Structure 1
Amino acid sequence: MNQQATDSQPKFLPGQIVITTNAQETLHPEEIPVALDRHLAGDWGDVDEEERQENELSLREGFRLLSVYHDRNGVKFWIITEADRSATTILLPEDY
């Protein structure tokens, strides 16, 4: 039971969580907290192997983290945590 509690702990703190207006208006609202939890747990979503490895290095070394997800309607969105962990932003690629 303790192992399950440990597994659900975030691997890093998100800082201030923000979402772009476009993402908030476009994404299915139930998917945002689920994706954020996945991001904080180190599940980087639909990134390729190179980006996955980059995120693992970034997690250890304190660099920027990028996750890619798709909502139930197939809309692609990103979650980016700044290198200094001061903020995590949920956005659509065109918002970048």
Structure 2
Amino acid sequence: MSCNCSASHSPNQPPQPLFRLGQIVATRGVLAHLEHHGIAADPFLRRHVTGDWGDVPPEDAKSNWLAVRYGSRILSSFEVGGQRIWVITEADRSVTTLLFPSEY
């Protein structure tokens, strides 16, 4: 089975969303962390929904591409303000959650 395991974007056109995020939620810890550092979640959500999974191993990136195609959970991992934050979109695309790995 093959997958398109890289996002291709035209330099003149912003990348298009690959899937629905559903309701966007975050844990209290992540909200406090973002607020403390004056960081918006939007850039990380945009990266997640356009196929930039952040710092995930190649096998997780491949799983994400397959999840986009076949409809399972999608996980991105970003370093934000000195801490790792996960962005997880559920398989049914009803909700996307920002959380610390310790909160999973």
Taking structure 2 as the reference length, the TM-score comes to 0.82
Q: Does 1:22 align with 2:29?
A: yes
Aligned to 2:86: 78
For 1:57 and 1:43, the matched residues in 2 are separated by: 14
Q: Secondary structure at the match of 1:70?
A: strand
Q: What's the counterpart of residue 12 of structure 1? A: 19
Asked if 1:95 is matched to 2:103, the reply is yes
Matched, 1:42 2:47: no
CA distance in 2, matches of 1:91, 1:29: 17
Quick one: which of 61, 77, 84 aligns to 1:68? 77
- Number of aligned residue pairs: 92
Q: Which runs of 4+ in 1 moved over 3 A?
A: none
Root-mean-square deviation (CA, aligned residues, Å) is 1.3
SS of the aligned residue for 2:75 comes to: strand
| Residue-by-residue CA offset, 1:11-54 (whole Å, 9 max, x unaligned) | 11100000110100113342411101000101000000010001
Which structure 1 residue ranges, 5 or more long, are not aligned?
none
The alpha carbon displacement at 1:8 in A equals: 2.4
Q: Distance in 1 between matches of 2:61 and 2:15?
A: 19
- Whole-angstrom distance in 2 between the partners of 1:51 and 1:31: 25
Give ranges in structure 2 of 5+ residues lacking alignment.
Answer: 1-9
Specify the code of the residue in structure 2 equivalent to 1:92.
F
Tell me which protein shows more helix as a share of its residues. 1
| Amino acid corresponding to residue 14 of structure 1 in structure 2 | L
TM-score, scaled relative to structure 1: 0.88
